[in-house]
Amino acid sequence: MSNTELDLTDPSIYRFWSTEHVRFADLDILGHVNNKAYATYYESARIEYMASRVPPEAARDWLALVRLEIDYLKEIHYPGTLRLGVSPVRLGNSSITMACAIFNGDVCCSTSIAILVCFDQAARKSRPFPDELRKRLEADL
């Protein structure tokens, strides 16, 4: 999935929304939100999305992040309340590609593409999605 296939700055493509508050600790020496904080915001939004979709009996079938792309479009400053959009854009046998964006008001400040795999904790490798989880994720494509 490349950023040219979807306009990741368009809020209408996102199926799920999360809220983050900019913390003073998120700032760097230049006074804007540090790049590591963006990754944390995205992680929190993806986890919140998955928690809303994972049935209780599959709660241990979490995903492992294998690729993360982040584009930094606008600075974010403290204080602030951010909206993060999350939407799956591709579902494979054991992987999911998720588009995300950070909005400060109506302004898109950052976009992200993440690839995650369904992870078998005992075998320490990827595995196919359980049927029930697959159905729930397919509903958002």
In sequence order, the 6+-apart residues with CB closer than 8 A to the CB of 14 are 85, 86, 87, 99, 100, 101
Query: What's 11-138's CATH class?
Result: alpha beta
CB atoms closer than 10 angstroms to residue 121: 11
**pLDDT single digits (tens) 106-122:** 999 999 999 999 988 88
CA count, 13 A, side-chain hemisphere, 102: 28
Tell me which residue has tokens 């974010």.
76
88 close to 141: Cβ distance less than 8 angstroms: yes
Which pLDDT value is given to residue 1?
44
Domain extents in the chain: 11-138
Compute the average pLDDT of residues 4-33. Answer: 94
